Structure 1
């Protein structure tokens, strides 16, 4: 299911009447706190995007408690550091369930760690909501729910929307280089991009992979310069995109169209060589997204908190929006079921739709995935701007080729 601009704005306006930050502030929450357990990669290679999710979660819990908590009780987020390691995440989720005895679970950052957490949730019959899982076919557990609207087949949806965007540019590409981390979700989509590129008549001039955690991108940059593709499709995660850009800069190579799947948004935005870079998005800090009053209020609160935390980019984009949506889904599930019973929450979510700041979410296709709200953004003059599809583009924005 896709959402056109008119439907999105209508749903967003309706959402503002009943959801986060308004209008039930200062309601009284009493009794023992409801514990929500989770981990994030507060250290290790995924620490940069995880900080975005930490700030978002803290804001949401603060607001939730001002609105009366859940079921009239205050909410406490029990957060642990999984060090960017799926095996550590597995151990910590075991602790959260068995030792900390949390009432609810929210997922960690990244497909590998989420898969580990999902296995623990399944073992104990716990419902888990997560925000950054990228391979729906691996989500076998029926009590897990996603919050990033990639659709049930992101390996097709993501490359197709990217290729649609660049095909509409003044210089549509004819050749493509696909370079990717072996991190599960970005690797999965990059392999899908190879197939979609063939179907669309793009000539592949280079395909390279690197191990997650790699920091030497010089050889990859050299191969890209030699191949000189019209489009680079980089399955880059976190700071990998910055390191690849820096390596290309050192050899005086300026790519034409260049796409980075899941960058660290702030650091990439601050790199001069990233001007013109493309990425996937579900939400950006501009209209029509901020026409939603809940989103507008979150954007302001996030900017203030991110500024205090010293983040290089203090705007809300796809990472923060996915994280925010996960908390919205968790809240809706508890309130819809009127219970902390995990099976009751899962049953309600599977048969329902939840309004989020990225659009209306449903959980009725492969892996409990549903809506496809993939959009394309580009760095232009120091800002991330949505450029495709045109209905969701920032006012006056369109894709440019550097």
Structure 2
């Protein structure tokens, strides 16, 4: 595990800084998303410090690269609290990293706002935990409900489902919710397999799915897996009626560009998109700063899928600290539970379990994606929202095997 901490204060001020600690996946499987979140938190820090800091003190970020490895996380949070003496906590990012951090955070009675982890608190029931994933107390089922409701609305209605998922916390959790939704809608699961996270050759996995000949193929995968699965599906000629799922690699612009037209007609879950219905106060200003910082770096050039949540987590924490006039974790947690927050990711409030009070996941479909063109993903036109109706911006192409432009 890397032993280097990054610690930066933008404006030198006479008072001691308020230290905010977290781990972040800056290398490894989910690093494309982790680097987006870090950049957005740095922008939030700079904005807070430019406005005078928190409680009249500068904000300092103290963070370590967990290398997308869950085993690294407990030691990082132990060090943040016992050695670095951070005042506040955020994160970690992702379900796989958040779950092993929770016992350490709970033992210290600290408050944290996790960055895009799903279903973690159903295991811990910790009242100082909050999640930035917009799935609500509905839980993991909210992560795939739209996918199966879209499927059930098609004519003729598909009847069978094949599911594949990585054998790791996030993917297993997403797959569990998908099974619930499929069964509720009367869809029969005829193939259900997991694969080791170290898998690099997905051709055998996809051939087995093809042999099952299901109407729908639902995938719960990480960024490297997503690339392998989509490429293998193209190579073996997989042609179900509907194909997609919780493929978080496809939330990162570089991977969208890398796969190009191979993504066409895939239907995926997203938590944040570039659309008129998602244009919340302060969002465009934050994204402009993000895009300026992203130039010349090996990170997502647009930051749509993740950056708003990192910045919003900072906004929520800052509001709670300001209104409670201190750094008492109990008071901060109670304030977050009791109030609504206006953020660049929209209005957010939390239920008793620390999840959003109202769900806001959407399902989009890749349509008419062209090769080697990063700019086509800037405005969301290549991924219209199909579900829910409240946010809908386009019409579904069905079946998946329909002619791709």
Q: Specify the TM-score bucket, using the shorter chain as the normaliser.
A: 0.7 to 0.9
**After the TM superposition, which residues 41-120 of structure 1 pair with which residues of structure 2 at under 5 Å, given as runs?**
41-120=25-104
Indicate whether 1:334 and 2:333 are aligned.
no
Which residue in 2 is equivalent to 1:276? Answer: 265
Scaled by the length of structure 1, the TM-score of the pair is 0.86
Partner Cα distance (2:59, 2:152) in 1: 47
Indicate whether 1:173 and 2:167 are aligned.
no
Which residue in 2 is equivalent to 1:15? Answer: none
Partner Cα distance (1:377, 1:303) in 2: 23
Which range moved further: 58-67 or 365-374?
365-374
Indicate whether 1:300 and 2:288 are aligned.
yes
Which of 114, 118, 122 in structure 2 is aligned with 1:137?
A: 122
Deviation by residue 1:294-333 (Cα, 9 ceiling, x = unmatched): 112122222222333243x423333223323222221222
Work out whether residues 190 and 212 of structure 2, in 8 Å CA contact, stay in contact via their aligned partners in 1. yes
Q: What is the SS of the residue equivalent to 2:295? A: helix
Residue 367 of structure 1: CA displacement? 4.7
Q: What is the SS of the residue equivalent to 1:250? A: helix
Which of 152, 157, 165 in structure 1 is aligned with 2:142?
A: 157
Partner Cα distance (2:288, 2:246) in 1: 26
Work out whether residues 283 and 317 of structure 1, in 8 Å CA contact, stay in contact via their aligned partners in 2. yes
Indicate whether 1:288 and 2:273 are aligned.
no
**After the TM superposition, which residues 17-28 of structure 1 pair with which residues of structure 2 at under 5 Å, given as runs?**
none
Which residue in 2 is equivalent to 1:251? Answer: 236
Deviation by residue 1:222-273 (Cα, 9 ceiling, x = unmatched): 0122223222111112221111111122223344422231422224422121
Task: Name stretches of at least 5 consecutive residues in structure 1 with no aligned partner.
Answer: 1-25
Task: Name stretches of at least 5 consecutive residues in structure 2 with no aligned partner.
Answer: 1-9, 370-381, 401-405
Partner Cα distance (1:238, 1:106) in 2: 23
Work out whether residues 227 and 255 of structure 2, in 8 Å CA contact, stay in contact via their aligned partners in 1. yes
Which residue in 1 is equivalent to 2:377? Answer: none
Residue 220 of structure 1: CA displacement? 0.9
Which residue in 2 is equivalent to 1:16? Answer: none
Q: What is the SS of the residue equivalent to 2:245? A: strand
Partner Cα distance (1:167, 1:358) in 2: 30
Partner Cα distance (2:316, 2:152) in 1: 35
Which residue in 1 is equivalent to 2:376? Answer: none
Partner Cα distance (2:217, 2:17) in 1: 49
Q: What is the SS of the residue equivalent to 1:331? A: helix
Structure 1 residues 384 and 61 mapped into 2: Cα distance closer, same or farther (>3 Å)?
Answer: farther
Which residue in 2 is equivalent to 1:320? Answer: 307
Partner Cα distance (2:154, 2:286) in 1: 33
Structure 1 residues 196 and 298 mapped into 2: Cα distance closer, same or farther (>3 Å)?
Answer: same
Please give the root-mean-square deviation of Cα atoms over the aligned residues, in Å: 2.3
Which residue in 1 is equivalent to 2:374? Answer: none
Q: What is the SS of the residue equivalent to 1:384? A: coil
Partner Cα distance (1:262, 1:106) in 2: 24
Residue 101 of structure 1: CA displacement? 0.7
Scaled by the length of structure 2, the TM-score of the pair is 0.85
Indicate whether 1:399 and 2:396 are aligned.
yes
Residue 275 of structure 1: CA displacement? 1.6
Which residue in 1 is equivalent to 2:7? Answer: none
Greater relative contact order, per chain length (Cα 8 Å cut-off, separation 6+): 1
Work out whether residues 376 and 388 of structure 1, in 8 Å CA contact, stay in contact via their aligned partners in 2. yes
Work out whether residues 136 and 351 of structure 2, in 8 Å CA contact, stay in contact via their aligned partners in 1. no
Partner Cα distance (2:207, 2:99) in 1: 35
